[in-house]
Structure 1
Amino acid sequence: MATSPVKEFLVTYFMPTKCYEELFVNLHLHVPCLKFVLKKIAGIWILLDIFLVQLLQLLKILWRGNAEGLSLSSVLLQLYAFSCPVVYAVTNSFPLFAWSERLLTLAQTVVITFLILHYRGDTLTGALFLLAYSGLMFLLGSYAATAVVSVMQSSSLPALIASKVLQIRANYSNGHTGQLSSLSVFLSCAGSLGLAFVSVQEEGGSLATLSHILSACLSCVLLAQVLCYKSSNKKKSD
């Protein structure tokens, strides 16, 4: 008997055969299977967040030819947050394939930072920043003490949370979201919710879990702003 394409797809990517039978054949809402499927879906959203969010934002800035509405302070905090796991991986001699996606995200954020300065007319400042940042990353990766690296790693999530707060404040002050990519915000929101769900399942009510939940809530606020200010953005583009 031929296997259903839907079954083959679901069993291949989302659930074992036993869960498929429980959920779709027996029509039984099997809680462990539901959690398993939700974790799989959350994992996909997290990966999309890592690989696409900064790239889509970068492409929108390049396409529009300006970075209006993007908070430089927010992006700098993002840059710090994305730098921390890279420094941690380098100092611990992790193989490149284990953190290459973080390096890619970091590189995209560096370019976004430069473009914000460039489109504000501070190209020289942006170039000097790139040189200074590259030198700092080299020094941290080569000579940073273990304690410093540990503090950086533990502070990356708070920095990311703070970056969202600053962007939310900038959106509110401006009355629009400018060149903030709607798709990036959506994927970031989905990824943050996925991280919060996985953290709740694996760590319970820990401080890290509460931080992920706060981050997810702030991402939802950003998404709400993108939707609410949509008409304002259209008027500005016109």
Structure 2
Amino acid sequence: MAEAQRRKDQAQRAVAASTITAPAAGFVESVNTAVGADPSCEEPVVVLRADELQVESSIDAATLAKLRVGQQALVTVPDARARGMTALEGLPTSAVTPGSRDQPVSGEAGSDVLGAYSREGEGDRTAGLGGQAARYLMELRLPVPPAGVLPGIRAEVTLTLDSRDHVLAVPPSAIHHDREGDYVLVLQCDDIEESGECRKSVPVRTTVRLGLAGDRLTEVISGLAENDSVILPAPEK
């Protein structure tokens, strides 16, 4: 009896001194076995997830053509009020079929790609997939996720493809297109009072040459001067 008790005490000390090591670094998401219960082979005792996260998004062909391995990307997570930097470790190699479960959906898990792109080669953005614009799946690793960022949360990815300093720029909604090219409507005075003040202004079509186009502003290389009054469309109700 004393020998059995000794073995029991020895076994308990061994259990107390033992350490369970996970096969990979990460976080414990759930514990499915109560203390003292016998674990079952049908259900994991502990569910882990990796401490590294991945952002999935899709980009168009024109943007893909301007990406390069190692390019820096800013990942912003609005719900967590967090942001972090990462880099492209590889370029997309296949298109995302419209309507597939792998295609990121705006407002759900996935992300939106932001950034500037050149208008040159813009026609390539409509290739393939039954006449619909081709999209390519892009994956970005976050080796050190910002605090508060969890799997499934929505993120925004900003890729700076090119940049210009000290340029004239207008909102994209101000730009119109027809067979003659790109143009904006500029207010010009049609009736000047003797005092020199303008009594009446009229919209005048002004041809412009465009450069980089971003989400909020489009560069105007020529056709406009600083302080020109460009007409914007009325906001939708």
| Band of TM-score, shorter chain | under 0.3
TM (norm. structure 2) is: 0.18
Greater relative contact order (CA < 8 Å, ≥ 6 in sequence): 1
Larger radius of gyration: 2
TM (norm. structure 1) is: 0.18
- Which one has a larger percent helix, Structure 1 or Structure 2? 1
- Which one has a larger percent strand, Structure 1 or Structure 2? 2
